[in-house]
Amino acid sequence: MRTKRPDRRTERTRQALMSAFIKLVLEKGYDAFTVGEVADRANVGRSTLYVHFTGKQDLLNACIGGPSSMMASIVAQNCAAAAIMPLVDHFLEQRARHRVFYFPMQSVWIRNLAGRIEPTIARLARESAARPLLSPKLVAHLIAEMQIGFIQSCLTAPVVPKSEAIAEALVASTRAMLAALLGTRLGAMQRPAEAKKG
């Protein structure tokens, strides 16, 4: 059975809308433009925009989905520091843009990231027979806040750390915080494959 490939036109339209949205955020700020302006900038009708996105919030969630997924994978214990290096390098290359794009909308980014982390927190708590100190929802929110705050601090530091150091410290901090909040040891949360290697 052949799997259906995504329609290239649909993907091009989505990318054009997301690109237009990002450019408008950088030029005007999130609150200073309308959905209609996004559609105009992407050269599509407003009704076409609504076929792909429900509005500005949905566009923002789509734009931050990639970074959020990669950062959430650290919590899932299946991401080494080397795997998030491209994301860290991207953040470093786009430092000025991220100050305008991501950080003014930090609360939205935290919610998006926490929503991706929460199911993993609940699963890890079950699998490791942990005794969480807090609810999975709150643990996910705290870890998302820490990760985003960590990235922000590194990007705005007077001397910006090297990308390798940022990636390794982000992974280590995330795992240590996760173990502390779940009330378990770091080793107890290793996936079975990792445990066998050690």
Rg over CA atoms, the chain: 19
Q: What confidence score (pLDDT) does residue 188 get?
A: 47
pLDDT tens string 51-97: 999 999 899 888 888 889 999 999 987 678 999 999 999 888 877 67
Rounded distance between C-alpha atoms, residue 87 and residue 77, angstroms:
17
Interhelix angle 163-182/106-127, nearest 10 degrees? 50
Tokens 């935290």 — which residue? Answer: 110
Topology of 7-53 in CATH? Arc Repressor Mutant, subunit A (1.10.10)
Q: What are the structural domain ranges in the chain?
A: 7-53, 60-192
Residue 6 pLDDT > 70: no
Rounded distance between C-alpha atoms, residue 74 and residue 183, angstroms:
18
What is the 3-state composition of the chain as percent helix, strand, coil, each rounded to the nearest 5? 75, 0, 25
Q: What confidence score (pLDDT) does residue 5 get?
A: 60
pLDDT tens string 25-47: 888 888 889 999 999 999 999 99
pLDDT tens string 142-189: 999 999 999 989 988 899 999 999 999 999 999 999 988 888 655 444
Rounded distance between C-alpha atoms, residue 151 and residue 100, angstroms:
14
- Residues contacting 195, CB < 8 A, separation 6+: 187
The dihedral built from the CA positions of residue 140, 177, 109 and 16, taken in this order, carries a sign that is negative
Structure tokens at 84: 């998030």
Rounded distance between C-alpha atoms, residue 36 and residue 27, angstroms:
16
Q: What confidence score (pLDDT) does residue 100 get?
A: 63
